[in-house]
Amino acid sequence: MDKVFELLMQAALILLGACLFVCLYRAVRGPSTADRIIAVNMTGTVTIMLIVLLTLLLKEEYLIDSALIYAMLSFLAVVLLCRIYIGIFRAKKEQEGEKHA
């Protein structure tokens, strides 16, 4: 039974690793800024899932603390990116309004 568990965890890690590369690709090549922000958020989520699966596979409980800290940092990073994006969007809107006036 342990062998099946390890095989399942390794397959999940490989699948999540592939998902991580797809998210990173979307973050770099996203057609819009909103797509890039969502890809960064998804990258953080997949990374947290990878850390949790490694915790289960290696039976090292301290990694859960690392996952929680990473979740907080990932959330703050996405909030910061959204704030910056909204500021840039508003500045462009104001410049367009001034050109038409």
> CA gyration radius for the chain?
19
Q: Evaluate whether 30 touches 39 at the Cβ level (below 8 Å).
A: yes
CA distance 77 to 71: 10
On average, the pLDDT of the chain sits at: 91
Whole-structure pTM value? 0.84
Q: At residue 99, does pLDDT exceed 90?
A: no
Q: Domain spans of the chain?
A: 2-100
Distance CA(52)–CA(58), nearest Å, equals 10
Model confidence pLDDT, tens digit, residues 25-71:
999 998 988 899 999 999 999 999 999 999 999 999 999 999 999 99
